Amino acid sequence: MAKILVKKLDPSIELPAYKTEGASGMDLMAFIKEPIILKSQNSCLVPTGIAVAFSNEFEIQIRPRSGLAAKNNISVLNTPGTIDSDYRGEIKVILYNHGKEDFLINNKDRIAQMVLAPVIKMNFEETYELPETIRGEGGFGSTGK
């Protein structure tokens, strides 16, 4: 298990936790003084009240909660959002309301989930030719429906 340092920006904040043994993500909760009304077809930035530090072998991905998406049409706008290992600020979540109704966000509402993921760095090697494949340069929809 990877070690993640977490800083609570307020003593009242509950730390994220795995809800079940098989869960891959921890729920993030809103940390807000006043409720936020997320208007239909709009986005907002929701603070969580926590900051983290972890090894540069990892990133934290911020993903939608399936229940919010299925029941309320609420998603994370930049799915998955990335928390880089060198970021030390508060984790904030960009939520988007795909629905037709406004959505109310209250303090401590579970708004997203965070997943720790390994990072594999790449090195570019410039070339004038790429190896041939069956697909070639075929783009969007080129492999069928």
pLDDT at 137: 83
Query: At 66, is the secondary structure helix, strand, or coil?
Result: helix
Average pLDDT, the chain: 95
Phi and psi at residue 72, in whole multiples of 5°? -130, 0
How many Cβ atoms from other residues are within 10 Å of residue 74's Cβ?
21
Q: Any bridge partners for residue 60, and if so which? A: 83, 116
Taken in order of first residue, the domains within the chain and their CATH numbers are 25-118 (2.70.40.10)
**Percentage of residues in the chain with pLDDT exceeding 70?**
97
- Going along 39-132, which residue ranges are E strands? 43-47, 50-53, 58-63, 74-76, 81-83, 92-97, 103-105, 110-118
- Omega prior to 80 cis, within 30 of 0: yes
What are the pLDDT digits (tens) for 1-14? 899 999 999 999 99
The number of residues in the chain equals: 145
End-to-end CA distance of the chain: 40
What are the pLDDT digits (tens) for 86-138? 999 999 999 999 999 999 999 999 999 999 999 999 999 999 999 998 888 87
Judged against a pLDDT cut of 80, whether residue 145 lies above it is answered with no
